[in-house]
Structure 1
Amino acid sequence: MGQGTRMRAHLCGIRTAWTEAVSPRTAAAEIARAVGPGMVQIVLFFSPHYDPETLLRALEAELPGVAIAGCTTSGNICPEGGLDRGLVAIAFPDQGFRIVSTLLDGIDDLDVERTASTVRALRRSLNPHGETVPERCFALSLIDGLANAEETVVSGIAWALDGIPLVGGSAGDDLTFRDAVVLHGGRIHRRAAALILVETDFPVQIFKSDNFEPTEKKFVVTASDGERRIVHELNAEPAAREYAMAVGLDPEGLSPMSFAAYPLAVKVGGEYFCRSIRRLNPDGSLSFFCAIDEGVVLTLAEPRDIVAATRDELARLDHALGGIDLIIGFECVLRRLDAESRQVRQGIADLYRRFNVVGFETFGEQYRAMHLNQTFTGIAIGRRAE
């Protein structure tokens, strides 16, 4: 392994490795040496600074016969903390895991029926000779976060999975909002989603964790472009000005840090889910990471202790599984910005080291049939085979 490459072998047989090598060919070679032989599927999260085609071809040369799926990120997560550059790889063995995957393309104009048919066929292929037990399975979604299609994709997938729990993340490109890609089937894809379906002999549990509390301050979306995720008016006033007045900021000075510190949430089925602002537009409108339709009521939320909230959820999972072996996690990039602004990112990194968290910082998170923001979702895998 290269000097900057690390590997961890987990009790379940999965190997995780991460590197900050600048060259995509060097990174591929180092990851291949780290995970070693005997792996059948690699899930890869990588910096948009790599040329994806060069990286993919190098990985295929280094790991012949191994299925590769992955996406670009806005930051990577490994047990050593956050990686602003580089890549993280999760290598699955053939023992203890059965894995199939598929690609959904053209997601900005998704045919829901065709998607459901594809997902059902994938589920049947996971266990062609018997019934699939949802409790022994989980699904991972990697979705182009610039296609503005996560809600449709996730609802279509979750419907067809018929009880198999789904978690995932939206591919990012740091915070440039120019180009996010998904890898699957030996090709680079845009406006697409990769779906990875896993059956395992080890106990698993999906989760979500956030760190905000709703306040009494409400906004009604009075003018919006739902397809483009742009809100023009809140409470019949220019959106940015109304939001800025509510949080005591100058509308001209709104930034990703502002949006991370003062999230908005929508109430669904008695529970609040975050709807994060992506950016301030020159005309005073606000672009969101989730679809926002006219008439939706948004609630201003206030943050609580992000370290304590994350620690409580990971401790709960640890107890439920009889010990966590590995967590594949998807964390909103705005959570990282919020943790940095409050100077508690090291506390989060300590938790990720303790509980073996690997994953990436996203433009959105998926949990069952929901597309979320400013949330930490994932799958926790236990140490002992059932």
Structure 2
Amino acid sequence: MTEARAVSHRCGIKTAWVDGAATAEGAVASVAAALSGEPVGQLLVFFSSAYAADEINVAFSRRFAGTPIAACSSAGELSPAGNLDRGVVAVAFPKSGFRIVSASLPNVDELDVERTADIVRSLRRRLDAAPDAKAGASRFALSLIDGLANAEERVVSVIDQALDGIPLVGGSAGDDLAFRRTALIHDGEVKLTAAILMIVETDYPVEIFKTDNFEPTDVKFVVTASDDGARTVRELNAEPAATEYAMAVGLDPENLSPMSFASHPLVVRVGGEYFCRSIRRLNPDGSLSFFCAIDRGLVLTLARPLDVVEVTRAELERLEARLGGVDLVIGFDCVLRRLDAEIRQKRRPISDLYRQYNVVGFETYGEQYRSMHLNQTFTGVAIGYAGAA
């Protein structure tokens, strides 16, 4: 059996991870052995789509019977040892210092707005009524959303409003760039076309964040023909979308790839700030499919990347100063950031930086930050050392 590794953090959270296990059962058994001996209040798990979600679910349900579990498939896993290629990462929250409630949100492709808002408000009431709830304690929310349901914008908007000021971060489940099937697991059940929401109250200082490594250029595109529901753009500037984009970045349209899209991101301006709208794939008809919703008439700006290591380091240093030390970071990192880091030979230094700050999480098909669904961004929550007085 491939042996898992584990780290105990000062706040009481323990993270365990395994890479390269032959089977889901073997991976989970190894993780369970690394976490043995300590009571777990909540498990948060990220797993490679090389493992069947049903098998991961059965294995975790058997070895952690009675423990609440929230999990999703990924496009890559982040552990305290760095990036994993075929991994399982588990974040074990202790029963003391953290109060956590969670729920699954079904059928997000046909979102029932009122039902979803009611579920979120019910979670808040449950947390308020918890016998160990503490006035003035820090709260944050984590979302895991099906990355192929094309529903994140609606889901995040409803959740954020119903959270009534509790800050939200999260990520869209992936499947290693296959774009066939992503999966979520919540309390013993595999969920498809769904989302999971966790609300966390803790005695430790926390701060949510987002950072990206691009800046806008003067090159503009107007979406002149699109299939909004499918997040597909047929025309940019009244020209075939792939042709117009490829000409702007100096590439042959037939050679466009995920690497091309990662190196030449598109951004949209909202409220004076730019947010990435990444391209998912080139379609046979020359249209472009996106990871985010794209509407006709939207103005997109070509962006140029900045040094991903230096930009990310500056944000983590800011968090360290704000919190008086970072114990760990639960992070949601766009898979396109990893592809761009590979192109620019930055994957090792960014992985080293993540290890320095105990970043755990997964590579996503999209990121959530408050009311926004984003691409090519690193979002997450940093947890500090010191407990509340």
Counterpart position of 1:15: 14
Structure 1 41/336 Cα, relative in aligned 2: closer, same or farther at 3 Å?
A: same
Mapped partners of 1:346, 1:101: distance in 2: 35
Cα contact 1:276–1:373 (8 A) shared by 2: yes
1:233-252 deviation per Cα after TM superposition (whole angstroms, max 9, x unaligned): 00000000000000000000
Residue correspondence of structure 1 range 235-250 to structure 2 within 5 A? 235-250=237-252
Counterpart position of 1:281: 283
Mapped partners of 1:134, 1:212: distance in 2: 36
Structure 1 79/129 Cα, relative in aligned 2: closer, same or farther at 3 Å?
A: closer
Counterpart position of 2:151: 149
Counterpart position of 2:295: 293
Q: Report whether the alignment pairs 1:314 with 2:313.
A: no
Residue correspondence of structure 1 range 120-139 to structure 2 within 5 A? 120-128=121-129, 136-139=138-141
Counterpart position of 2:362: 360
1:221-273 deviation per Cα after TM superposition (whole angstroms, max 9, x unaligned): 00001100000000000000000000000000000000000000000010000
**Counterpart of 2:229 in 1: which secondary structure?**
coil
Cα contact 2:28–2:88 (8 A) shared by 1: no
Q: Report whether the alignment pairs 1:24 with 2:17.
A: no
Aligned residue among 373, 380, 383 for 2:382: 380
Instruction: Please say which of residues 24-33 and 150-159 is displaced more in the overlay.
Output: 24-33
Taking structure 2 as the reference length, the TM-score comes to: 0.97
Over the aligned positions, Cα root-mean-square deviation in angstroms equals 1.3
- 1:4 deviation in Å? 3.7
Cα contact 1:142–1:193 (8 A) shared by 2: yes
Structure 1 266/233 Cα, relative in aligned 2: closer, same or farther at 3 Å?
A: same
- Counting matched residue pairs gives 385
Counterpart position of 1:338: 340
Cα contact 1:70–1:183 (8 A) shared by 2: yes
- 1:324 deviation in Å? 0.2
Residue correspondence of structure 1 range 1-386 to structure 2 within 5 A? 3-20=2-19, 21-36=21-36, 37-128=38-129, 136-386=138-388
In the alignment, structure 1 segments of 5+ residues that lack a partner are none
- 1:132 deviation in Å? 7.7
Cα contact 1:104–1:193 (8 A) shared by 2: yes
Mapped partners of 1:352, 1:307: distance in 2: 10
Amino acid at match of 1:162: D
Mapped partners of 1:196, 1:383: distance in 2: 22
1:296-343 deviation per Cα after TM superposition (whole angstroms, max 9, x unaligned): 000000001000000000000011000000100000000000000000
Cα contact 1:115–1:156 (8 A) shared by 2: yes
Instruction: Please say which of residues 96-105 and 112-121 is displaced more in the overlay.
Output: 112-121
Mapped partners of 2:170, 2:300: distance in 1: 24
Cα contact 2:231–2:291 (8 A) shared by 1: yes
Mapped partners of 1:132, 1:152: distance in 2: 31
Structure 1 94/129 Cα, relative in aligned 2: closer, same or farther at 3 Å?
A: closer
1:136-172 deviation per Cα after TM superposition (whole angstroms, max 9, x unaligned): 1011000000000000000000000011000000000
Mapped partners of 1:250, 1:93: distance in 2: 53
**Counterpart of 1:127 in 2: which secondary structure?**
helix
Cα contact 1:76–1:83 (8 A) shared by 2: yes
